[in-house]
Amino acid sequence: MARFKKYTPPAKKQFSGAESHKSKTPPAKPRFSGTESHKSKTPPAKPQYSGTESRKPNTPPAKPKFYAAERSALYARREAANVLRTVLRGDAERRAVASIKSLVFSPSVRNKRGTFALVCETLKHLNVIKDVLEIANVLNSKWKKQEPLVYIICYDILFGKDTPSIGDAEKFLMRRKDALLSSLATLLVRKKVESVDQLIGLSQPNGDFKPRYVRVNTLKIDVDSAVKELEKHYTVKKDETVPDLLVLPPGSDLHAHPLLTNGRIFLQGKASSMAAAALQPEAGWEVLDACSAPGNKTVHLAALMEGQGKIIACELNEERVKRLEHTIKLSGATNIEVCHGDFLGLNPKDTSFAKVRAILLDPSCSGSGTITDRLDHLLPSHSAVKLNYDSIRLHKLAVFQKKALAHALSFPQVERVVYSTCSIDQIENEDVVSSVLPLASSLGFKLATPFPQWQRRGLPVFAGSEHLFRMDPVEDKEGFFIALFVKENKLDTPKSSELPQRVCRRRHKQRSIRFHPFICPKMFRALGGI
Ligand SMILES: C[S@@+](CC[C@H](N)C(=O)[O-])C[C@H]1O[C@@H](n2cnc3c(N)ncnc32)[C@H](O)[C@@H]1O
């Protein structure tokens, strides 16, 4: 059994003013509270931690809070070191391990945000840290065996906001802080550079990181107001291709920005923002998002439809349904119906879908275009890294993708279908599209050209592949693929001829469909004999 449920929009007040996760933060004295996670929050006031430790005997009893924050930082460093150890070991053996993100999001890691930031920053500085350690020559054999932890602590000592003060490894390295700092100075001189950023640039020649893309949620704020707000702290440009997308400098840290925490903007990559834009749903349409969690494209569709009409967001995975619901809630969209089940199990002939005019199909894929997002480019062997998806897995994905695309095309009133993947593999892209072309043609569909000004088109493996849209992981810093099918009798409408000029990898484990207590009855019927 699977579950269908009507998404109930949240009470408005949840989005107003100081909201969402912020409201959970204890309002008073948040900076040193015992629950503090060391990296993700404002760093504690340095003077309390400074090497001289000049706390007077009559200092008020701040100790427990001080120790809680320090302990939290200590645990975060251990958690980060464990993740780093796994990643570096896999990388050294050229063995596919889970991505940094998936390691950090495993249940055993408590301080996920802090750990993720610490691992990424340490990896980014890793070559510099290694060089500094070599010049300083401070490690004895005991600490050489604990290199990942040493790297993490060195990052904190040399570049981090906090100065570690508890923990054996921390104390060992803090006693050698002067040697580490003077080795860093020596390294800058040797490499003839003035800043650590230049050093990092030298050690990562391809490390010109991706800009930070921000999609404005036009359901809550208009683009110009968002630009004005963000410009207070960042250099902001409007993207040339997607109108509601803004481009900020690489590494812009927005995680605590009020526009983000209250859902007025979403951190959404350029490629991901192009799928909904390619579909171009009109306000008032009914649209089906076939594989929707975590819902970035779903809420983008809602914004493009100006909150009007209806979106049915289908998702198979129960855990991911929760993320989808969270995204919807954050976006403020009130026209999205969540459908927990298998897209392939939906009956296209059911009256529930009689008015569906557009389908976005962004199915599970290998994610081979998202190497940069997986942060593999930070690994020492990044130039040699190839995502080693075995051909059996790719084949299985392609089988599902073909079925899902054929299914999408079979909804009777559908006139526009976008098929997108964050894969660069032909088997998941051009091959899937070409396999459904006879069916598409028999149903009156033609391939249309999303973003006609865009240079990179499909691989020339069948006639018509020039309509397909590709982004390249090197040139465009992420790999992505879009195919747009439009019903032939709709091709002349202004919408389709004036197409805009302008990340997932999950196995589908269950096929059964379960119903939620508050299933929408129409949806129940839609499942046909299930
Ligand atoms: C690439 S992700 C979608 C990302 C999403 N479009 C976004 O932009 O946020 C693919 C999703 O499809 C879901 N999925 C896989 N097989 C499915 C199926 N048969 N029916 C519905 N959803 C499915 C996966 O659980 C996963 O959440």
Is 175 in the same domain as 222? no
Q: Is residue 283 part of a domain?
A: yes
Is 229 in the same domain as 291? no
Residues 152-185, buried b or exposed e (16+ Cβ, 10 A)? bbbbbbbbbebbbbebebbebbbebbebbeebbe
Q: Is residue 26 part of a domain?
A: no
Domain that holds residue 100: 33-203
Q: How many whole angstroms separate alpha carbon 4 and alpha carbon 84?
A: 40
Does the beta carbon of 439 sit less than 6 angstroms from any atom of ligand 1? no
Is 420 in the same domain as 456? yes
Is 466 in the same domain as 368? yes
Domain termination site, one of 203, 226, 255:
203
User: Mind spelling out the 3-state secondary structure of 387-440?
Assistant: CCCCHHHHHHHHHHHHHHHHHHHCCCCCCEEEEEECCCCHHHCHHHHHHHHHHH
Is 246 in the same domain as 339? no
What pLDDT does 228 receive?
97
Residues 524 and 2 sit within 8 Å (Cβ to Cβ): no
Is 83 in the same domain as 194? yes
CATH number at residue 344: 3.40.50.150
CATH number at residue 238: 3.30.70.1170
Query: How many independent structural domains does the chain possess?
Result: 3
How confident is the model over 63-112, as pLDDT tens digits? 555 677 788 888 889 999 998 888 888 766 655 556 677 777 777 778 77
Does the beta carbon of 320 sit less than 6 angstroms from any atom of ligand 1? yes
How confident is the model over 346-387, as pLDDT tens digits? 999 999 999 999 999 999 998 888 755 555 556 665 543 444
Residues 364-374, buried b or exposed e (16+ Cβ, 10 A)? bbbbbbbbbbb
What pLDDT does 163 receive?
76
What pLDDT does 283 receive?
97
306 is in an annotated binding site: no
Q: How many whole angstroms separate alpha carbon 9 and alpha carbon 7?
A: 6
Q: Is residue 89 part of a domain?
A: yes
Is 46 in the same domain as 68? yes
Distance (Å) of CA 19 to CA 23, 26, 34, 294: 5, 13, 22, 20
Is 102 in the same domain as 218? no
Distance between Cα 363 and ligand 1 center (Å): 5
> Both tokens of residue 295?
């819902």
460 is in an annotated binding site: no
Is 333 in the same domain as 199? no
Residue nearest to atom 19 of ligand 1 (CA): 342
Is 317 in the same domain as 429? yes
Q: Which of 273, 291, 304 to mutate to test the pocket of ligand 1 (most atoms within 8 A of CB)?
A: 291
Q: Is residue 16 part of a domain?
A: no
Is 328 in the same domain as 475? yes
Does the beta carbon of 421 sit less than 6 angstroms from any atom of ligand 1? no
Q: Is residue 39 part of a domain?
A: yes
What pLDDT does 13 receive?
28
pTM confidence score: 0.63
Q: Is residue 360 part of a domain?
A: yes
Predicted-assembly ipTM surpassing the 0.85 threshold: yes
* Sites in the chain below the pLDDT cut of 50: 1-3, 6-57, 205-207, 383-389, 494-530
Is 253 in the same domain as 363? no
